[in-house]
Structure 1
Amino acid sequence: MDIILSHSISPTFNLAAEEYLFSKIEDDFLFLYTNEPSVIIGSNQAVLNEVDQDFCIEHDIRIVRRLSGGGAVFHDKGNLNYSFIHGKRGEPLSARFLDPVVETLCALHIPVEVGKRKDLWLEGYKISGTASHLSKGREMHHGTLLYDTDLDMLLKALSAEKRDMVAKATVSVPSPVRNIRPYLEAKWGSSLETEHFIQQFASQIILLLGVDHTDTFSDEEKRRIGELQRDKYVQRSWNYRL
């Protein structure tokens, strides 16, 4: 498995990168990235049902549709995103893809539990939601990890006026959420800055998966991802298609 850490905080680039990696049929990846403030909606969701568009416009929050299903999520630089991408071999990865994330967090003294929806919970609060995309012999399972996200912005961005404007669309299931950072501060009296936490998480999961380094995208890969970004993920026809 190759572990790739994105140097971009553009949600349209990083979602295009996920699709690009998904298309590399022979390879397995763990892709780690953060995004600037954005709302990422599921493939079968309607923006009208999920997002306060006026608030997002006012605060320069981009709305982008992803490949996978599931509910809408808010990203910012306090939120780490992880994406496991591989070919189907025997038992589906969906049965165990959260195991290395749980083990990594427990090693960092964050005792999370897996919920019924393949999400992660910490002391009664959701800290990570996940979604999946399966196609043509490939699997992608990705999730958020709330470390130091602006939860007030999250709540307001995801507060649509009505949730049933588009009846055929998948509607998000709200859950109480919290950040990891205040938990660590309360438990240990201190916490890492977000950038250092991400580095520590990456180092620990590399050790767990038996990989000796992280990779980045080559110039040619960035060119191909950029083409997909321009042709799809920045397009209103994709992001607002429901």
Structure 2
Amino acid sequence: MISSKHYSRRERYRALETWRLVDHEYRDNPSMNLAVEEAIPRMVGEGKAPSTVRFWHNSNTIVIGCFQSAKLEVNMQACKETGTEIVRRFTGGGAVYHDSGNLNYAISLPKGHRLVPDHNLQSVFQRLSEGAVEGLRRLGLNAEFQPVNDIQVDRKKVSGAAGSIRWNSVFHHGCILVNSDLSILGKVLNVPRAKLEDRHVASVQTRVTTVRDELGRDISTREVRDAIVGGIESCYEVRVESGVLMKEEVGLAEELYQTKYSRLEWNLEP
């Protein structure tokens, strides 16, 4: 027999706002992954898709911000030697390195959502990073948000984020270094010396860390993903339920891939 206490807890959970959970990815096609990143908030903004959390992975890839120069941010020769692709996202911010040990997450909400009512991008970064911070804390890490858009563990960067308020939607995405190869990261990214000196570190590898290294044990991206889902539900008082992309979303992603994300002029110019 179910107790009234247990029943009321279950009913309260069912009454929460529901977010869709999507694990839709193209591990060996980073350009298509980024096309999906744009398609979802567009559909959410049109009211055709619900508030959505997406988790995904890339193979070895440098993802540069919308306004960055690939030639300045990326060591092209190192990318060739390591088989690292270069793609551009639609959000701003800095270049990041992805590999199979990196977990990417994205949150798409309708504009005016109760969590980010003031339409300020800095507020979006902080508020929508809280679920990931809580998830990492549940794993035993001393994680905290560090403005402008980082998550740190004991003063080392473990995650960076970017976002956008457009298409009548609020979009936030981040990448978490779970068990990434930091030696490749240090080779393929051109990090300005001034930026390193400002943080009193000698190299990009001493500035960043991984979840695995901080925990001192092996951990899968799936375990981190599950912890973040729990953090999102707790921080935002929502119910996250598994779902899939609609045909219209997939169709839009395919169109964006063909017309934008697969093109060299988008990814490498200027």
For Structure 1 versus Structure 2, the TM-score category normalised by the shorter chain is 0.7 to 0.9
Task: Give the structure 2 partner of residue 99 of structure 1.
Answer: 130
The residue correspondences of 1:167-178 to structure 2 (distance < 5 A) are 176-178=207-209
Q: 1:199 to 1:139 in 2, by over 3 A?
A: closer
Q: Deviations over 1:60-106 (max 9, x none)?
A: 21100101111000000111111111122123361511111111211
Cα root mean square deviation, aligned: 2.4
Task: Give the structure 2 partner of residue 241 of structure 1.
Answer: 269
Task: Give the structure 2 partner of residue 179 of structure 1.
Answer: 210
Q: Distance in 2 between matches of 1:239 and 1:128?
A: 23
The structure that is helix-richer by fraction is 2
- CA contact 1:48–1:160 (8 Å) conserved in 2: no
Query: Which of 96, 100, 104 is residue 77 of structure 1 equivalent to?
Result: 100
Aligned residue pairs: how many? 227
SS of residue paired to 1:82: strand
Q: Distance in 1 between matches of 2:133 and 2:171?
A: 18
Task: Give the structure 2 partner of residue 200 of structure 1.
Answer: 226
% of aligned pairs identical?
A: 28
Task: Give the structure 1 partner of residue 74 of structure 2.
Answer: 51
Q: Deviations over 1:157-177 (max 9, x none)?
A: 1037999xxxxxxxxxx6810
Task: Give the structure 1 partner of residue 199 of structure 2.
Answer: none
Task: Give the structure 2 partner of residue 215 of structure 1.
Answer: 243
Q: Distance in 2 between matches of 1:54 and 1:147?
A: 26
2:40 equivalent to 1:21: yes
> Which structure has the larger Rg over C-alpha atoms?
2
CA offset at residue 58 of structure 1?
2.5
Uncovered stretches (5+) of structure 2, i.e. residues with no partner: 1-18, 195-203
- CA contact 1:30–1:84 (8 Å) conserved in 2: yes
Q: What's the TM-score once normalised by structure 1's chain length?
A: 0.84
- CA contact 1:52–1:160 (8 Å) conserved in 2: no
Q: What's the TM-score once normalised by structure 2's chain length?
A: 0.76
CA offset at residue 113 of structure 1?
1.1
CA offset at residue 218 of structure 1?
4.8
Q: Distance in 1 between matches of 2:88 and 2:81?
A: 20
2:26 equivalent to 1:3: no
Q: Deviations over 1:108-163 (max 9, x none)?
A: 21220111212100012000111111223222111110110110111101037999
